[in-house]
Amino acid sequence: MSREEVFERLHEIFWDVFDDEDIRLTDATTSDDIEDWDSLEHINLVVEIENQFGMKFTMGEVHEMKNVGEMVDIIIERATK
Amino acid sequence: MKEYRFEEISLGLSESFQVEITREMMDKFRDISGDVNPLHNDTEFAKARGYEDRVVYGMLIASQISTLGGVYLPGKYCLIHGVEIDFARPVYIGDKLTISGTVKEIHESVRRLTIKFVIRNQTGKTVSKGILKAGCML
């Protein structure tokens, strides 16, 4: 799975979770950049990513995700395991 | 009260309980919510619209999902994140409802459970169904 493919799918997930198709993700995007990205939406986001990508993260991985770029890194790493 | 901890919960785990809807519950819900709509408060109005009697508040039925999560599944350590609910059939005062929930997803990374629930009346008909998204704090 390429980085571009992951970004493409992540955009769909973010648009759905936050109900906002104006969201544009970059490696540096964090919760500070998306107004509704609070602790509950973070859970909803992780659950949706796990379901859509068919993978389960560990609690540690979720805590380590500092921005979308790191999220993408973990998804690619898990997808290739 | 059930006291399931996160690590004790597995896919397919189910819990259920029963409740009878009373006139007093309807009165209390009207007072708390302020919903004085005649469909729920005026028998003649409801009958004129094809119902057997005044219709029990959907959100009173939905309140049983708070009990499903907070008392039964997972119980004591529950934190409700969200509920999606459909109201499939009318419920009337005196109906005896069985509320059942089953764990369909477990997301360990964020300690989130997805619980599918169904509410059936005394004849076994589904009156409501939906999804409860709940955290388990321990």
ipTM of the complex: 0.88
* Chain B touched by A3 (CB under 8 Å): no
- Which CATH number is A63's domain given? 1.10.1200.10
pLDDT digits (tens, 9 = 90+) for B100-121: 999 999 999 999 999 999 999 9
Confidence (pLDDT) at A45? 96
Nearest to A50 among B81, B107, B133 (CB): B107
Cα distance between residue A36 and residue A17, in whole Å? 10
- pLDDT, tens digit, for every residue of B2-53? 999 999 999 999 999 999 999 999 999 999 999 999 999 999 999 999 999 9
Chain B contact for A1 (CB, 8 A cutoff)? no
Answer yes or no: are the C-beta atoms of A49 and A11 closer than 8 Å.
no
Give, in order, the Cα–Cα distances in Å from B30 to each of A59, B33, B51, B55, B78: 43, 5, 19, 12, 27
- CATH number of this structure's domain B6-136: 3.10.129.10
pTM of the complete model? 0.92
User: What would the 3-class secondary structure string for B12-54 be?
Assistant: CCEEEEEEECCHHHHHHHHHHHCCCCHHHHCHHHHHHCCCCCC
* Cβ <8 Å between A62 and B107: no
pLDDT of residue A80: 81
B112 touches chain A (CB under 8 A): yes
Domain of A8 in residue numbering reads as 3-79
| pLDDT on residue A79 | 85
| Residue A57 touches chain B, beta carbons under 8 Å | yes
pLDDT of B89: 98
> How many domains in chain A?
1
CA atoms of A56 and A76, how far apart (whole Å): 13
Prior bond to B90 cis, omega within 30? no
Question: What's the pLDDT score for residue A49?
Answer: 97
**pLDDT tens digit sequence for B39-75:** 999 999 999 999 999 999 999 999 999 999 999 999 9
H or E element at residue B83: strand B78-87
Stretches in chain A below the pLDDT threshold 50: none
Q: How confident is the model at residue B77 (pLDDT cuts 50, 70, 90)?
A: very high
